[in-house]
Amino acid sequence: MEIYDYVVIGGGPAGLSAAIYLARSPLKGIVLEGSTPGGKLVDINRIDNYPGVPNTSGTDLALALLGEATSLGAEIVYKRATAVDKEGDLFKVSVEDGSYLTKNVIIATGLSSLSKGLEGEKEFMGRGISHCATCDAAFYVNKETVVLGNGEKPLSEALHLALQCSKVTLLFEESDLKGSEDSIKALKENPKVEIITSIKPLRFVADEKRTQIEGLEYEIDGKITLIKADGYFVYSKENGPLALLSSLNVEYKGNFLIGDPETGETSLKGLYVAGDAKQSLLKQVVTAASDGAKAGSAIIRRAAAGK
């Protein structure tokens, strides 16, 4: 069986950026993509915060990334990785109909679930509902927003919104805030933030013609309540690459792989992580691209050093 220098798992911004660096080297490898290349980008109408490319559509950016990687010679294999195991000094990456042996693996699988699955959530995504304050806060300057979720990510997103919104209401199912001490203190002390605990979110209520959201319905103390705002930011448990790596002993924080800040290498030599699958506070296209570039060039450097 052929032994590859690298297998990149995931053809989103992180995986394709890694492929752009690796394709310029003499190393032999592939990018496995289980669905659509471009990853999350293909579902996003407008990409903000990607320097030098203002107001681009997600699909255009995805096609540009894919075109750049393939024109440099990157080989994209349209198969879903089902497991990564150790085989001696190598990794075995399994797909439905076979496997690949490789010296290095880059995990660039992104996040698998961002939705809470509430009625109306998918329908109004990008039309009043968002999963990303870093991307969409600018639409709500001096307006009221609701943040649904608990944990460090929603807490820091609520603080981000409070910088420019007139009011932020943070709602969640648990009885206490979960997150870093700093975030909890900052939220409690912020006069623009109202915190409502121990609720059960029910659904987004729309107008009769279903053109806009009228509010978020939730249950508290057995009573049904409707909260109205200009924008709703929804956060669910994010799933990282845990299932794929179940046989490997590797360090995580929560669901996310911990990678070296300079290279993305995990606690397991030769296993790298890039993009949203990596433990990090900021999850954006620019950070995914940077992570991919770092992991790709780290593999090239190590191969050049013969290690």
Ligand X SMILES: Cc1cc2nc3c(=O)[nH]c(=O)nc-3n(C[C@H](O)[C@H](O)[C@H](O)COP(=O)(O)OP(=O)(O)OC[C@H]3O[C@@H](n4cnc5c(N)ncnc54)[C@H](O)[C@@H]3O)c2cc1C
Binding site for ligand X (CB under 6 A): 9-15, 32-35, 39-41, 44, 47-50, 80-81, 108-111, 114, 131-132, 135, 244, 275-276, 283-286, 288
Residue with tokens 């996040």: 111
What single-letter amino acid sits at 110? G
Tokens coding 252: 């995580």
CA dist 279 and 258 (Å) reads: 5
Residue with tokens 């290279």: 263
CA 44 from centre of chain: 13
CA dist 60 and 216 (Å) reads: 33
Please state the length of the chain: 307
Task: Name which of 93 and 158 has its Cβ closer to ligand X.
Answer: 93
Bridge partners of 9, per DSSP, are 32, 107
Residue 224 buriedness (CB in 10 A; 0-12 / 13-18 / 19+): exposed
Cβ pair 204, 121 in contact under 8 A: yes
Reduced to 3 states, what is the DSSP secondary structure of residue 92? strand
As a dihedral over the C-alpha atoms of residue 19, residue 20, residue 26, residue 28, rounded to 10 degrees, the angle is: 20
Cβ pair 44, 114 in contact under 8 A: no
Bridge partners of 213, per DSSP, are 206
Cβ pair 57, 105 in contact under 8 A: no
